Amino acid sequence: MSAPSIHLDADLIILGGGCAGLSLASRLAASPSTLRVVVLEGRDHYKEDRTWCGWRTASHPYQECAVAAWPKWRITNTQETIERSSNRYPYEMIPADRFYAESCRVIGNCATVSLVMAANVATVFERVGSFHIDLLDGGTFSSKWLVDTRPRVIALRPPSLWQNFVGYVVHGSQTLAERIGDSPVLMDFQLPGTSAVQFIYALPLGADAYLCEWTRFSKERGEESKIEQQLLEWVGENAGQNWFLGRRESGSLPMSLVTRKVQAGGRIVLAGTAGGSMRASTGYAFHSIQRWADACCGALLAGEAPVPPLRNRALDFMDEVFLRALQQQNSSGEAIFCSLFKHTEPDALVRFLSGQPRLADYWPVMHSLPWIDFSLAALQSLYCAGGP
């Protein structure tokens, strides 16, 4: 006698309709797939809560949402300004509200993919080959496959740091217009001295508006009020007259490697930041999430199970060494970043930072780093990998 078939609400449920969840759902919605997909998102509406930037190393479905694609960028310290450029890999900016609106539009046009807002997932359990999800408000859902993109509250595995930041859009400042100009400043280290790695990240948004973020790499998570105060003092000292503050954004990004156990695929997959899409050494995630969404959509269209984000062991090792060197601070973080940007050919560095290096890109990157500190950190990483 065959087992009775169980009615499931969906083939695939995606927990969390943020960057990763919507990227996958909208690809499935735009494809010929007939899979029944439900995205469960905790928020009751979307707003412009962040600005995604990064180098576009490959085309992706959200290109039309980009409001800027700069061919050059700078980093600066008290001694010099290092300007780099690439016509092949622009540094693009995608405001979150455009991304959310585009995703909702594509999903809204598809009868088999649905987005449920204000759906706060309380518990998830597996029973006889299916997943059952209970919402806080009492609703329930079931599916054959699960992709979980809910952020985790995690204790980081050393070596690791938190990338804490607070940013404001500053309007109307002529002084900032002169200082920042028309291309992004990825790191401005000209800040009152501390031993921490900290810098201003500044983006020209057009019409006399600049997003200015104070960023600090720290062993502690958060520090929001302290960073906010430092940012506001910096704006006060550097923005001149007649400016006013607009939108605010903040975050604490885990700069840490995700263990392979967490990543393990199967019928349930962790994705987005939770699944290791965020580059440990930089905090960039948007473009690697796009690559994962392509791969995962491809697997599902082929009738296979969802796949976790792809990891590159060599890059993971280099990130571990990098984080160890940053944590130990034998060389200053400022010196490491300035040397990296100054001495590595921009396209090679972009591919490396974006998680897509060619074999020939590793050597120039390694060559530009303070080799004594990095050799020591590498030896420690090797020892820890082989240790008890």
Ligand X SMILES: Cc1cc2nc3c(=O)[nH]c(=O)nc-3n(C[C@H](O)[C@H](O)[C@H](O)COP(=O)(O)OP(=O)(O)OC[C@H]3O[C@@H](n4cnc5c(N)ncnc54)[C@H](O)[C@@H]3O)c2cc1C
For ligand X, the binding residues (CB under 6 A) are 15-21, 40-43, 50-54, 119-121, 149-151, 249, 251, 253, 272-273, 283-286, 289
Structure tokens at 147: 């992709």
Minimum gap (Å) between residue 49 Cβ and ligand X: 7
Structure tokens at 26: 């909208």
Structure tokens at 1: 């006698």
Nearer to ligand X, 16 or 333 (CB): 16
Dihedral sign for Cα atoms in the order 167, 172, 174, 177: positive
Dihedral of the alpha carbons of 256, 367, 79, 242, in degrees to the nearest 10: -40
Closest CA to 187 of 216, 159, 208: 216
Q: Give the bridge partners for 206, in sequence order.
A: 209
CB 243 within 8 A of CB 176: yes
The DSSP element (H or E) to which 121 belongs, if any, is: strand 121-127
Minimum gap (Å) between residue 160 Cβ and ligand X: 16
Minimum gap (Å) between residue 15 Cβ and ligand X: 6
Residue with the CB atom nearest ligand X in the bound state: 18
Distance between CA atoms of residues 288 and 295, nearest Å = 11
CB 58 within 8 A of CB 357: no
Minimum gap (Å) between residue 150 Cβ and ligand X: 4
Minimum gap (Å) between residue 323 Cβ and ligand X: 17
Dihedral of the alpha carbons of 53, 54, 58, 61, in degrees to the nearest 10: -20
Distance between CA atoms of residues 218 and 295, nearest Å = 33
Distance between CA atoms of residues 10 and 359, nearest Å = 42
Minimum gap (Å) between residue 85 Cβ and ligand X: 19
Measuring CA to CA, how many Å separate 109 from each of 32, 43, 105, 172?
A: 12, 21, 6, 40
Nearer to ligand X, 66 or 348 (CB): 66
Nearer to ligand X, 223 or 335 (CB): 223
Structure tokens at 103: 């995703």
Nearer to ligand X, 246 or 370 (CB): 246
Nearer to ligand X, 22 or 378 (CB): 22
Residue with tokens 């930072």: 353
Minimum gap (Å) between residue 142 Cβ and ligand X: 16
Minimum gap (Å) between residue 202 Cβ and ligand X: 13
User: Which DSSP symbol is given to 16?
Assistant: -
Nearer to ligand X, 43 or 226 (CB): 43
Nearer to ligand X, 52 or 341 (CB): 52
Residue with tokens 């401005």: 188
Measured from the Cβ of residue 231, the count of other Cβ atoms closer than 10 Å reads 22
Minimum gap (Å) between residue 19 Cβ and ligand X: 3
Minimum gap (Å) between residue 196 Cβ and ligand X: 20
Distance between CA atoms of residues 199 and 127, nearest Å = 49
